[in-house]
């Protein structure tokens, strides 16, 4: 389109300007004008009104557009220079509400500009064959522009509600010895939460600077747990939680909830708080916060992620009913095969829960693997594509005393931790004898925990003489620290220093010793025949697992 056609600058020729006065323009010019106005409204809201309509409206809209661009530029700058602050602003309940309202207002205003642009186009002046194309272009531009802002406001509001339901509004916590330590508890929480016992206890310790992470798994049957010095329960059990075989660490939640809640005035969940204090004293470290997860909510979260990918070392039963008389499970509801698998929520729940034919420690290894797979596979693309489902599933987290004011810092650490090796320690096989949880040696345990944390800290590893990529192997008889995903097959007779196997070093057991492929039907037939020992031998390696 030539400048002479777009604008007649001759005196008295203003009415012939085809942009502002399309009546005098030819049909091809009107068509080009229509598409240009739509494009201007999409790329520079307000500019179409300045060149072809109400200039006052256009100037106001353009001023808003420039302000938005300025805010976006500042946001990008903040993302580069201070990412935690940006995330804290977005997750702050008041700031996020203001942003939601602003996005909705911008979306409505932008939609109004598109409607005004349609009036400026004057479709009646266009050729009938062109009108549908112009209409489609305008609708697509409206959806791309105004619709995107509206959807962003919706997603931000979903996230805002999820954060409000999951996290507390309490004070922020400070790192201890340069680390943030969180107790992760998993259990089945029904409507009546009294008497709930967490089936899964693990400590997630994160270096406050580098994001290097260590996971310490505590068996639910750990006995003689020591309460931290500042715990009110220490006055009740000064020598540890040692009231007999029933005093397992996962029973503390129930006992405190039912009998000693008055020792925790103003605490939302005394049982969870007391359990956190018991794990702190037992491990010889300060745990600042906890997250209690409903296992059914855990299943929903994995489904929302689209499943998790793992390499399974052995077959895992999805156990059937439990027969109290024979003390055995009935026919399995299904089997999770050995090898590379993509698990949905229900399968992942059973994979982390099942302990039939093996002990608690094989289950703990699988739980660690599931946690690592979730951390590894919850990438930004997955989070963005499935944000609403993941946020809604996240509200199934029963509770957490983590302050929402620190989400920015913690999410930033999670980003830093991505791709780094996760160190782990299990209070039991393969890192300690099976009897250790019954008669624990706390001096030895505290030493092992300190060694693990040093290996998961760049500064600590250097001061301790441990290479960043090395795993410390203590002397014979003292157990070992294992890299994430390492196999029990790496245990050496009599101990001794050796490089631990990497997560991919184990070979899944998919055949019998005779070379016959293991199948679900074979395992079920052995179950029908009552040959539990044969099944036990075939699935003995199911604690081996690595995230893919």
Q: What is the CATH number of the domain that holds 365?
A: 3.40.630.190
* Within-domain flag for 404: yes
**Cβ contact 445:283 at 8 Å:** yes
| 309 occurs within a structural domain | yes
d(CA 428, CA 488): 12
Per-residue pLDDT, 118: 93
- Check whether residue 360 and residue 504 sit in a common domain: yes
Lowest-confidence region among 204-218, 232-246, 364-378, 511-525: 364-378
**Reported confidence tier of residue 291, pLDDT bands at 50, 70, 90:** confident
pLDDT of residue 40: 94
CB 522 within 8 A of CB 537: no
Within 10 angstroms of residue 65's Cβ, the number of other Cβ atoms is 19
325 and 187 assigned to the same domain: yes
pLDDT digits (tens, 9 = 90+) for 345-365: 889 888 888 888 887 778 878
Give the Cα separation of 263 and 241 in Å (integer): 16
pLDDT at 497 over 60: no
Same domain for 91 and 190, yes or no, is no
**Residues 138, 192 within the same domain:** no
Q: What is the pLDDT of residue 263?
A: 93
CA dihedral 534→539→541→542, nearest 10 degrees, is -160
Residue 173 counted as domain residue = no
Query: Is 113 in the same domain as 206?
Result: no
Phi, psi dihedrals of residue 477, rounded to the nearest 5°: 85, -5
Q: Residues 364, 239: one domain? A: yes
What pLDDT score was predicted for residue 129? 92
- Please, what is the Cα angle at 440 between 435 and 441, to 5 degrees? 125
294 within a domain of the structure (yes/no): yes
For the cut 60, the answer to whether the pLDDT of residue 195 exceeds it is no
Q: Are residues 61 and 206 in the same domain?
A: no
Residues 147 and 185 in one domain: no
Q: Is the pLDDT of residue 442 over 80?
A: yes
Please indicate, yes or no, if residue 171 is contained in any of the structural domains: no
Question: Are 355 and 464 in the same domain?
Answer: yes
Does 174 map to a domain? no
Shared domain for 140 and 186, answered yes or no, is no
To the question of pTM greater than 0.75 for the whole model, the response is no
Containing structural domain, residue 436: 179-547
User: Could you tell me the pLDDT band of residue 281, with boundaries at 50, 70 and 90?
Assistant: very high
**pLDDT cut 70: percent of the chain above it:** 78
Q: Of 131, 166, 201, which closes a domain?
A: 166
What average pLDDT does this structure show over 482-501? 31
Collect contacts of 114-117 with beta carbons under 8 A, ≥24 apart. Answer: 114/38, 114/41, 114/138, 114/141, 114/142, 114/145, 114/146, 116/49, 116/53, 116/54, 116/57, 117/37, 117/38, 117/40, 117/41, 117/48, 117/49, 117/53
| Domain total of the chain | 2
Mark whether 254 and 281 lie in a shared domain. Answer: yes
Query: Is there a contact between 51 and 62 (Cβ–Cβ < 8 Å)?
Result: no
Whether 196 and 261 share a structural domain: yes
In a domain, 515, yes or no: yes
Asked if residue 210 is part of any domain, the answer here is yes
């Amino acid at each position: 389109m030539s400048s002479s056609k777009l604008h007649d600058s001759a005196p008295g020729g203003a009415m012939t300007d085809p942009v502002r006065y399309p009546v005098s323009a030819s049909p091809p010019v009107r068509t080009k004008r229509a598409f240009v106005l739509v494009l201007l409204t999409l790329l520079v809201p307000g500019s179409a009104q300045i060149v072809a309509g109400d200039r006052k409206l256009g100037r106001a809209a353009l001023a808003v557009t420039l302000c938005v661009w300025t805010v976006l530029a500042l946001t990008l700058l903040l993302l580069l220079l201070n990412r935690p602050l940006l995330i804290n602003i977005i997750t702050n309940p008041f700031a996020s509400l203001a942003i939601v309202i602003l996005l909705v207002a911008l979306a409505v205003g932008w939609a109004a500009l598109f409607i005004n642009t349609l009036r400026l186009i004057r479709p009646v002046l266009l050729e009938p064959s062109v009108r549908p194309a112009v209409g489609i272009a305008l609708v697509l531009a409206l959806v791309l522009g105004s619709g995107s802002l509206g959807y962003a406001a919706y997603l931000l509001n979903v996230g805002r509600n999820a954060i409000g339901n999951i996290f507390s509004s309490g004070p922020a916590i400070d790192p201890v010895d340069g680390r943030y330590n969180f107790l992760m508890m998993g259990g089945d929480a029904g409507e009546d939460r009294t008497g709930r016992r967490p089936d899964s206890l693990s400590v997630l310790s994160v270096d406050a600077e580098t994001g290097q992470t260590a996971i310490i798994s505590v068996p639910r049957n750990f006995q003689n747990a020591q309460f931290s010095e500042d715990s009110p329960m220490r006055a009740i059990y000064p020598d540890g939680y040692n009231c007999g075989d029933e005093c397992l660490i996962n029973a503390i939640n129930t006992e405190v909830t039912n009998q000693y809640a008055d020792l925790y005035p103003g605490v939302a969940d005394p049982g969870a708080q007391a359990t956190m204090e018991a794990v702190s004293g037992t491990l010889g470290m300060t745990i600042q916060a906890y997250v209690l997860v409903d296992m059914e909510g855990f299943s929903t979260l994995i489904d929302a992620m689209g499943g998790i990918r793992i390499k399974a070392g052995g077959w895992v039963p999805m156990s059937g009913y439990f027969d109290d008389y024979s003390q055995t499970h009935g026919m399995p509801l299904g089997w999770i095969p050995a090898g590379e698998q993509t698990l949905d929520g229900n399968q992942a729940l059973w994979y982390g829960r099942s302990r039939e034919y093996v002990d608690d420690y094989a289950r703990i290894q699988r739980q660690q693997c599931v946690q690592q797979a979730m951390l590894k596979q919850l990438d930004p693309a997955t989070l963005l594509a499935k944000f609403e489902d993941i946020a809604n599933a996240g509200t199934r987290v029963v509770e957490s005393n983590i302050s929402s004011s620190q989400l920015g810092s913690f999410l930033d650490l999670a980003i830093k931790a991505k791709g780094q090796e996760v160190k782990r320690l299990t209070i039991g096989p393969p890192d300690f004898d099976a009897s250790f949880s019954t008669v624990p040696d706390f001096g030895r345990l505290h030493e092992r925990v300190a060694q693990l944390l040093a290996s998961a800290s760049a500064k600590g590893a250097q001061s301790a003489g441990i290479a960043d990529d090395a795993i410390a192997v203590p002397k014979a008889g003292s157990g070992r620290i294992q890299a994430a995903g390492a196999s029990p097959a790496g245990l050496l007779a009599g101990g001794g220093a050796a490089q631990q196997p990497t997560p991919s070093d184990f070979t899944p057991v998919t055949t019998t010793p005779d070379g016959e492929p293991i199948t679900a039907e074979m395992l079920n037939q052995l179950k029908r025949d009552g040959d539990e020992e044969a099944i036990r031998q075939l699935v003995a390696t199911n604690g081996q697992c690595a995230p893919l």
